[in-house]
Structure 1
Amino acid sequence: MTIWKQSLDLHQANAMMVNTIGDTLGIVITEIGADYVVGTMPVDKRTHQPMGILHGGASVVLAESLGSFAANIACDKDMACVGLDINANHIRSVRSGLVTGVARPVHVGRRTQVWEIRIADDADKTVCVSRLTMAVIEAP
């Protein structure tokens, strides 16, 4: 059984990324499961820090992009979700390839939502673990 209150296919989900930071960094939503969202981001010059490894801030952008998308399709159509807090633990460095994030709910309430996002490298080794808290507000 799905937790989603709004239905979007992958084409619609990725169209929402156009002209955003997600578009700039090459983030692509690749799967919408019954209670999770998966997306990828390349590790390249767009997402590197000066030492040639994945920038921690880019990992946070991936985490917030996936968690925010998930939160917004998990709330009623007359409501919207906006970021309240995010933290990230950077576990391992990555120099190239693709990282994959999976956003899963910890709490989906009427006024707040909490999402955990695990980001892994091509070998499925954890790169970053993030927790995102969203405020549920009336849609503008």
Structure 2
Amino acid sequence: MVADMHAGTLPERMGIEFLEATPERVSGRMPVEGNTQPYGLLHGGASVVLAETLGSVAAAIHAGPGRIAVGIEISATHHRSASSGHVTGVATRLHAGRTLATYDIEISDEQGRRVCTSRLTCILRDR
């Protein structure tokens, strides 16, 4: 169901695959290949797209039917580079209220080393 929501969108073009999806936690992975900057390293913006995608999906699930989640703030710290394979992100709920939801997103490489830490806040509103 989550994958169907993203048909023809940026997450699909970037190769993001969802692994788990609940209101408390959403995980997914993305290939490094095709999402790099000119030096062959994972583009920082690609990490941010993965983070916002995972956090927004979790917030949308929390919001429930007939409501949407829209990102209003995101931050990211890039800890190390990745040059091959996949990176995996896990969005974990920090706060889920009636109008705002905030998630921490950790992105790691295939060796389990943290590549990026991000925080996303979404506003929840009626469709």
Q: Which runs of 4 or more aligned residues in structure 1 lie more than 2 Å from their structure 2 counterparts after TM superposition?
A: 32-35
Answering whether residue 89 of structure 2 is matched by residue 136 of structure 1, we say no
Structure 2 distance, partners of 1:35, 1:83, is 17
Deviation per residue, 1:62-98 (Å, 9 max, x gap): 0000000110001132321101000100001000000
The aligned amino acid for 1:68 is S
Deviation per residue, 1:23-72 (Å, 9 max, x gap): 1110010122572111000000x200011100000000000000001100
Partner residue of 1:25? 14
The aligned amino acid for 1:115 is Y
Deviation per residue, 1:107-130 (Å, 9 max, x gap): 001111111100000011100000
Q: Structure 1 length as normaliser, TM-score? A: 0.87
Unaligned runs of 5+ in 2: none
| Cα 1:93/1:103, change in 2 over 3 Å | same
Match of 1:91 among 72, 79, 94: 79
The two structures, once aligned, show a CA RMSD in angstroms of 1.1
Answering whether residue 103 of structure 2 is matched by residue 119 of structure 1, we say no
Q: Which moved more, 1:93-102 or 1:14-23?
A: 14-23
Unaligned runs of 5+ in 1: 1-11
Match of 2:24 among 20, 35, 53: 35
Q: Structure 2 length as normaliser, TM-score? A: 0.96
